[in-house]
């Protein structure tokens, strides 16, 4: 390439005299081709001669860049009359080589390549790996939990995060002004009905979907409901004001507490390992009777991972199910808590902190 640049061309003082030294003029028999390319050449060399180091990138873009004048001229070859194409192509390519060589020399004169210019491109450097996205640990945990249940015949359903207090509380056997409402500190939506009462809130748990699903569907019901929940809560390492739960509900004829135990034991073994033991202890939740908390054995201790119980007859009759005929069990667990156990995470606030040092570990 350098050989095509006449050594005596002084690109700094580029002038009409340069045309005489054109190597490629030999190829340019056609004046229609000659004129624009020769003009382009003269103009480009003159501009290059006037460039300071800071102008080099602009010059490169203007003449040789993707939308540069010479590049466009080269691209226009196809539109030229057939008998001109060959000569024009050869001339334009020769000019391109010449301009590149002139550029290299100009850059040299100006004291070496500036950052970002062509000469700064070292094609022998190893490539940069492009960043690959991945699923958030909460999403992955939700998928692990729901697929454990869907392989046992549960459907996966989602529900609204802004909920009526009816579904969040009343339909779950937590009447208005009942002290049990204090178990869940609530964020209310600031929108009052005509009677001045606020009825909408950010759901405090995924349990409201129990009633919504049963209202829509006849038994048998077997669903798990993953989703985000909210509480009016001061945050610390184990409390967040927003977090995720997975709710479960199975209702049909003849379901017993043994079904609850068998299903949740199987779940614990799929998520936490085949030898996992579980423990059920009595607990109180207004929408189940009896209610339990389930713990798993973990490094020599019992760790509670979810609440569960047999669906309260009042919840069943509230949605029009006959509690004499149908029975069922329900359960609810905190997703972040399960992810924290599995991965040894010690602060629940990490999940929403959006810190890549944390997220890229999963
Ligand atoms: N909704 C409860 C909570 O947020 C968890 C729960 C307990 C769900 C027992 C259930 C259940 O379905 O049976 O604390």
- Give pLDDT tens digits for 307-352: 999 999 999 999 999 999 999 999 999 999 999 999 999 999 999 9
* Pairing verdict, β 221-230 and 155-156: parallel
For residue 127, name the pLDDT band (cuts at 50, 70, 90): confident
Of 336 and 298, which is predicted with more confidence? 336
Distance 339 CA to ligand 1 centre (A): 18
> What pLDDT, on a 0 to 100 scale, did the predictor assign at position 16?
37
> What pLDDT, on a 0 to 100 scale, did the predictor assign at position 20?
37
Strand partners, 250: 222, 329
pLDDT, mean of residues 112-133: 75
288 lines ligand 1 (CB under 6 A): yes
> What pLDDT, on a 0 to 100 scale, did the predictor assign at position 114?
57
DSSP single-letter state for residue 333: E
327 lines ligand 1 (CB under 6 A): no
Are 240 and 349 in contact by the 8 Å Cβ rule? The answer is yes
What is the rounded CA–CA span in Å between residue 303 and residue 48?
Answer: 74
**Residue 210 annotated to the active site:** no
**Token couple for 135:** 């699923």
> What pLDDT, on a 0 to 100 scale, did the predictor assign at position 115?
57
Catalytic entry in 210, 245, 292, 339:
245
Catalytic entry in 221, 223, 330, 335:
330
> Hey, is 223 helix, strand or coil?
strand
Distance 11 CA to ligand 1 centre (A): 81
Least confident of 35-39, 209-213, 270-274, 294-298: 35-39
Least confident of 10-14, 26-30, 159-163, 178-182: 10-14
Identify the structural domains of the chain with CATH numbers, from first to last: 8-120 (no CATH), 137-359 (3.30.930.10)
207 lines ligand 1 (CB under 6 A): yes
**Nearest alpha carbon to residue 231 among 331, 142, 161, 145:** 161
Distance 261 CA to ligand 1 centre (A): 16
> What pLDDT, on a 0 to 100 scale, did the predictor assign at position 299?
86
pTM metric for this prediction: 0.67
Residue 29, number of CB atoms within 10 A of its CB: 11
Minimal-distance CA residue to ligand 1 atom 7: 307
Minimal-distance CA residue to ligand 1 atom 12: 331
Of 254 and 128, which is predicted with more confidence? 254
332 lines ligand 1 (CB under 6 A): yes
> What pLDDT, on a 0 to 100 scale, did the predictor assign at position 121?
76
> What pLDDT, on a 0 to 100 scale, did the predictor assign at position 35?
65
**Residue 231 annotated to the active site:** yes
pLDDT, mean of residues 140-158: 97
> What pLDDT, on a 0 to 100 scale, did the predictor assign at position 119?
61
Name residue, tokens 């748990």: 205
Read off the pLDDT of residues 18-54 as tens digits, 9 standing for 90 and up: 343 444 444 445 555 566 888 889 999 999 998 888 8
247 lines ligand 1 (CB under 6 A): yes
pLDDT, mean of residues 241-269: 97
What is the rounded CA–CA span in Å between residue 282 and residue 232?
Answer: 26
For residue 90, name the pLDDT band (cuts at 50, 70, 90): confident
For residue 228, name the pLDDT band (cuts at 50, 70, 90): very high
Name residue, tokens 């999963």: 362
> Hey, is 274 helix, strand or coil?
coil
Q: Which atom of ligand 1 is nearest to the CA of 207?
A: 1
Of 16 and 129, which is predicted with more confidence? 129
First-to-last CA distance in the chain? 51
Are 250 and 328 in contact by the 8 Å Cβ rule? The answer is yes
Share the mean pLDDT of the chain. Answer: 87
Read off the pLDDT of residues 196-219 as tens digits, 9 standing for 90 and up: 888 999 999 999 999 999 999 999
pLDDT, mean of residues 261-275: 95
Distance 331 CA to ligand 1 centre (A): 6
**Residue 184 annotated to the active site:** yes
293 lines ligand 1 (CB under 6 A): no
Are 174 and 204 in contact by the 8 Å Cβ rule? The answer is no
**pLDDT exceeds 60 at position 15:** no
């Amino acid at each position: 390439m350098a050989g095509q640049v006449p050594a005596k061309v002084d690109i700094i003082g580029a002038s009409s005299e340069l045309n005489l030294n054109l190597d490629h003029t030999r190829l340019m028999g056609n004046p229609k081709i000659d004129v624009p390319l020769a003009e382009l050449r003269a103009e480009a060399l003159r501009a290059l001669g006037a460039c300071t180091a800071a102008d080099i990138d602009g010059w490169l873009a203007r003449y040789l860049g993707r939308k540069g004048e010479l590049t466009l001229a080269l691209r226009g070859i196809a539109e030229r009359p057939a008998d001109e194409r060959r000569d024009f192509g050869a001339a334009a390519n020769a000019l391109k080589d010449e301009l590149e060589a002139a550029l290299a020399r100009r850059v040299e004169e100006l004291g070496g390549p500036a950052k970002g210019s062509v000469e700064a491109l070292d094609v022998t450097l190893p490539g940069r790996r492009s960043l690959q996205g991945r699923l958030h640990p909460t999403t992955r945990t939700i998928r692990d939990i729901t697929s454990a249940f869907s392989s046992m015949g549960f459907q996966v359903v989602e529900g609204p995060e802004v909920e009526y207090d009816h579904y969040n509380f009343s339909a779950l056997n937590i009447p208005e002004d009942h002290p049990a409402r204090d178990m869940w500190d609530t964020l209310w939506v600031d929108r009052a009905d005509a009677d001045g009462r606020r009825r909408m809130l950010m759901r405090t748990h995924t349990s409201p979907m129990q009633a919504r699903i049963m209202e829509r569907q006849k038994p048998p019901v077997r669903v798990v409901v993953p989703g985000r929940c909210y509480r009016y809560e001061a945050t610390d390492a184990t409390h967040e004001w927003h977090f995720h739960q997975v709710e479960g509900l199975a209702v049909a004829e003849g379901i017993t507490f043994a079904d609850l135990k068998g299903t949740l034991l199987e779940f614990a073994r799929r998520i936490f390992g085949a030898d996992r033991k579980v423990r059920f202890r009595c607990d109180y939740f207004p929408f189940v009777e009896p209610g339990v908390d389930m713990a798993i054995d973990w490094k020599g201790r019992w760790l509670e991972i979810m609440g569960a119980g047999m669906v309260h007859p009042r919840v069943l009759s509230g949605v029009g199910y006959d509690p004499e005929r149908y029975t069922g069990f329900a359960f609810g667990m905190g997703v972040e808590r399960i992810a924290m156990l599995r991965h040894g995470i010690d602060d629940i606030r990490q999940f929403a902190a959006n810190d890549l040092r944390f997220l890229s570990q999963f």
